[in-house]
Amino acid sequence: MLERVANPHADSLYLARFTVPEFTSLCPVTGQPDFAHLVIDYAPDQWIVESKSLKLYLTSFRNHGAFHEDCTVAIGKRLVETLAPKWLRIAGYWYPRGGMPIDVFWQTGEAPKGLWVPDTGVAAYRGRG
C-alpha cells in the first residue's frame, strides 16, 4: 500500500529525491533476480509520499516478475497516480545480465520553471573499463 501525507510546504517549489541502490525484481522469463539502482525525483504539490510505505512498495517487487522497462515506468506512473506531483522523473539503472545493462528513464514532462533538478549522480555503466 503506497501512502501519501499532506505536504507541509505545498506553497513552495522544491524537489524531493529517493535513491534506491538495491532495487530487486524478477525476470519474467527466467525467474532470476534483476537488480537496479533507482533514482526518483519529484516536485510535490499537495501530497508527499510516506517514505516507509514507498520502501515497502518497492520491496514488493522482489517477488514480481516484469521486464526492466515495465518495472521502472510502472513505479513512476503509480507515484504520479498517488501523489499528483507538479513533476516526477524516475531513472532505472539496471545491472547487466546477459552482458547488457539496460537504463530506463521516464518523466511526466518538462520540469517546472525554477525547479532545481540535479543530475541523478549515477555514472553510465562502463564494465571493468
**Among residues 11, 34, 70, 119, which one is catalytic?**
34
* Helices of type H across the chain: 51-59, 68-83
- What residues contact residue 19 under an 8 Å CB cut-off, 6+ apart? 37, 38, 39, 40, 121
Contact 60, 91 (CB under 8 A): no
Q: CA 38 to CA 6: how far, in whole Å?
A: 24
71 is annotated as an active-site residue? no
Q: Which of 11, 27, 45, 103 is catalytic?
A: 27
What is each CA distance from 40 to 54, 121, 127, in whole angstroms? 11, 12, 24
Please state whether beta strands 100-107 and 47-49 pair in parallel, antiparallel, or not at all (unpaired).
unpaired
3-state secondary structure of 84: coil
Is 11 annotated in the active site?
Answer: no
Catalytic residue numbers?
27, 34
